[in-house]
Amino acid sequence: MPFLILFASSFGWVFVQAFQSRNVNSGQYVAAAAGSFAIGTLQVFVLSQVVGQGASMLHTFTYCTGGAFGVIAAMWTHKKFMKPRG
């Protein structure tokens, strides 16, 4: 799997999971439902592309780095665009 796709898929998966966590914690029901659907879709994509490919240390580092950037981006995006409830 090309490194850019590996990075992007990890970024996307972790972004949606972190955003979902913030949605649930802040009572954003519709966004949480949409997030759940997105998580399932990304899980199927990532697992179908990554599992069984045999990952090198560089692949592992790339995947983990994508996740680290994804969680930070999700936290920033949620804080910037979602209004707190109650």
First-to-last alpha carbon distance for the chain, in angstroms, is 44
pLDDT band for position 1 (50/70/90)? low
| Structural domain spans, the chain | 3-81
pLDDT of residue 77: 94
Three-state DSSP at 80 gives helix
Residue 54 is encoded by which pair of tokens? Answer: 């045999």
Residue type, 17: Q
Residue type, 19: F
- The model's pLDDT over 40-63, given as tens digits with 9 standing for 90+, comes to 888 888 777 776 667 788 888 888
| Block residue for tokens 């996740």 | 67
- The model's pLDDT over 59-75, given as tens digits with 9 standing for 90+, comes to 888 888 999 999 999 99
